[in-house]
Amino acid sequence: MTEELLRPDYLFETSWEVCNKVGGIYTVVATKASFLRQEMGRHHILIGPDVWMDTESNPDFIEDSHLYSQWKAQAASEGLRVRIGRWNIPGTPTAILVDYKQFLTKQDDILTEYWLRFGVDSISGNWDYRENVLFGYAAGHVIESFYRFNLSSSDNVVAQFHEWQTGSGILYLKTTDLPIATAFTTHATMMGRCLAGNNLPLYDAMSRFDGDEKARQFNVVAIHSIEKASAQRADVFTTVSDITASECEHFLQRKVDVVTPNGFENSFTPATYEEYLERRRVSRSKLISVASAMSGEEIAKDAILMGIGGRYEYRNKGIDIFIDSLAKLVREEPEGRSIHAFIMIPSGHNGPDKDLVAKLAGSGSGYTTQISHYLMNPEYDAISGRLHELALDNRAGSRVKVYFIPSYLNGNDGIFNMSYYDLLAGLDLSAFPSYYEPWGYTPLESLAFCIPTLTTSLAGFGLWVRDHYEGDHPGITVLDRNDANYQDVVDGVVARIREIAALDDEGRKAYMSNARQVSKIALWDNQIRYYKEAYSKALAKVAQARETFSEGNNEKHITYRKMNINNPSWKSVMVTRHLPEALSGLETLSKNLWWCWNESAKSLFESIDPAVWQSTNHNPIALLDVVSLKKFKALAKDEEFLGRLKAVMDEFDAYMAPRQRGRIRWSDTSAWSMALTPPSRSTQAVSAFSPATTSRRPAT
């Protein structure tokens, strides 16, 4: 079968996370690139945003002034600003970093073109949406320039784009006459995230949700629009799991061509058993030391250490079930070894607890704490709030204790000063009872470090294990989860903890050995074939199109037909917003999708007017439009409300800080500088367009 596949001579792969570590897709693209480096060499070219160009040197990027130097000069003459070099990961694959900010002054023209050609509705898209569109557009330009200078129609070329943030690159390439096969890979749908993050029954009621209508309710019309257009226009459409493929077909209205599950490469795991044992010894020693200092009790060396990690998505990641399971264990008063659970979920904080630091250094006694770092807004924190509600307070004598570690474990957190992977090696169990998890790297990482784990049937990786691992797999438990069996999942987590706690040394070794074995089904050696299948299908589609559209023409290229669409009608719309200056943060929050999965933000909006919040289907922009000026003036003098707003804004700013690194400087253009400050009792003139048959009111 492999011999029959069409293979790309050149593969361009575009992602925000190329040389820019901001999320899980970084691991996917980086490990895949390391693997393909052996096969494709310099012909696998990664394209990422040049977000470090105005700051310090990018530690992920090694610039090479000699690499493709002639084309770089040509690109510069075309007005493209790029840096070329190597991604500083194993294999050092070729990387091109693109300065997309140069297109800021053309943004309106670009967005208009996308509406005219592809029906992409950008009216409600705010700055982060536009930033992503510009990056994808710039990446498409770079691929076109490289192709015209270095390649020819005899070369098989594939351009793959990850997530909606780069989808505009596909749309741009469709405006050229180049035979470049395009592949669009979504790792999660926008509507899936919105529905799951707002406690709606995504799985049991998916068929009853209209994606376009829900996009309007959640104020993500622009994002949903470009995601949908990218999926529908790409030559091949892929996603990471069967469960996400169902979302794609329903919400994006195109069936996935190939499921391309994520892989990993094991270079980050210990190379030998002896190295692993040493790492585990050091990790357990540190975990027990910190737990002893935080609880004020001596922790036995044979205690059961377990944990959960990942993004702070309280429901989606199953953090709620993890905590409720521990509470049930406390009520059941387990016998045997004590259980110590670490919630390693980054959150906004103001540094390590100084008293804890002093105690760990040996200059303090009697002090105890359940949280290792000072939370920015503890009164609104979902994790600490639930721990308090369930009386999981690490009281003296309790055999189940919980520790909240709200810092990124990057080796410099001030308490552990070890990386997440190093600490992971010391656990006896990890648990990720997720509700929304298109793939699920965290359980896979645990398995790779020989740590027994738990996931659910709503996680792509959990389903992958069920379908692709033959025989028993005690190293991983995959719990059935749906929209109605929350308590059953809690019971399943409790049972898994008891199972691990009851193991003797030989049993533990057997479980850990199986965990490592199960992880091997996800090595890139096994998973890369699905990507190769996708690339082959894309190339075949382009070849077929060339035959169809080039009959009678000696030139071998594709001609894309222009779509028949409604002519746009241009209107001048006056948009008024009545927010006092003290409440300007509400405008900022309403325009960033972060509010969708943040309980404190949703609670803040609801408190403005619960009835209106309900009638607007939990749409914060609609809420701000409907609520009266009188109400806003009263809130602007309400110290309690202002305190809550400040707390949520602090949390939001902490979340956005690492994402803002090196991105658009609003002072680059005067128009965008003005957009940075939300209007206060101001009236703005907005140029808007829409099909003649449709009436739209653009957001500010």
Q: What is the pLDDT of residues 633-657, one digit of tens each?
A: 888 899 888 988 998 888 888 777 6
- 557 found inside a domain: no
Q: What is the pLDDT of residues 240-296, one digit of tens each?
A: 999 999 999 999 999 999 999 999 887 778 888 899 999 999 999 999 999 999 999
Helical (H) or strand (E) element with 305: strand 304-309
Q: How confident is the model at residue 564 (pLDDT cuts 50, 70, 90)?
A: very low
- 449 found inside a domain: yes
Res 597: pLDDT:
75
- 69 found inside a domain: yes
Question: Is 259 in the same domain as 318?
Answer: no
Q: What is the pLDDT of residues 360-390, one digit of tens each?
A: 998 877 899 999 999 998 999 999 999 999 9
pLDDT of 568 above 70: no
Q: Identify any residues that bridge with 476 across adjacent strands, giving them in sequence order.
A: 453
Question: Is 62 in the same domain as 205?
Answer: yes
Res 600: pLDDT:
85
CA-angle at 448, arms to 443 and 454, nearest 5°: 25
| Higher pLDDT pick, 531 / 691 | 531
Residues of the chain with pLDDT > 70, as a percent, come to 88
The sign of the CA dihedral 34, 38, 39, 42 is positive
pLDDT of 594 above 50: yes
Say how far apart CA 417 and CA 356 lie, in whole Å.
14
pLDDT of 669 above 70: no
Averaged pLDDT of the chain:
87
Res 4: pLDDT:
83
Count of domains observed in the chain: 3
Question: Is 275 in the same domain as 257?
Answer: no
Question: Is 34 in the same domain as 149?
Answer: yes
Question: Is 488 in the same domain as 584?
Answer: no
Distances (CA, A) of 600 to 217, 283, 373, 385, 608: 19, 34, 19, 11, 13
Res 3: pLDDT:
53
CATH number of the domain to which 214 belongs = 3.40.50.2000
pLDDT of 63 above 70: yes
Q: What is the pLDDT of residues 436-479, one digit of tens each?
A: 999 998 999 999 999 999 999 999 999 999 999 988 999 999 99
Q: What is the pLDDT of residues 13-52, one digit of tens each?
A: 999 999 998 778 998 999 999 999 989 999 999 999 998 8
- 697 found inside a domain: no
Res 366: pLDDT:
84
Question: Is 592 in the same domain as 506?
Answer: no
Say how far apart CA 671 and CA 669 lie, in whole Å.
5
Nearest-10 crossing angle of helices 486-501, 319-332 = 60
Residue 581 CA, chain-centre distance (Å), reads 32
Question: Is 539 in the same domain as 578?
Answer: no
Question: Is 518 in the same domain as 531?
Answer: no
pLDDT of 686 above 80: no
pLDDT of 679 above 60: no
Question: Is 595 in the same domain as 617?
Answer: yes
Question: Is 260 in the same domain as 278?
Answer: no
| Higher pLDDT pick, 685 / 388 | 388
Report, as an integer, the average pLDDT of 131-137. Answer: 97
- 508 found inside a domain: yes
Report, as an integer, the average pLDDT of 672-682. Answer: 32
How many CB atoms neighbour CB 182 within 10 A? 27
Res 457: pLDDT:
96
The whole domain housing 47 covers 7-264+526-549
- 19 found inside a domain: yes
Distances (CA, A) of 590 to 107, 133, 419, 621: 22, 20, 34, 6
- 426 found inside a domain: yes
Question: Is 41 in the same domain as 170?
Answer: yes
Classify 98 as helix, strand or coil.
Answer: strand
Classify 558 as helix, strand or coil.
Answer: coil
- 563 found inside a domain: no
| Higher pLDDT pick, 430 / 602 | 430
Q: What is the pLDDT of residues 500-551, one digit of tens each?
A: 999 999 999 999 999 999 999 999 999 999 999 999 999 999 998 877 654 4
Res 267: pLDDT:
75
Question: Is 531 in the same domain as 593?
Answer: no
Q: Which of 252-256, 421-425, 609-613 shows the lowest per-residue confidence on average (mean pLDDT)? A: 609-613
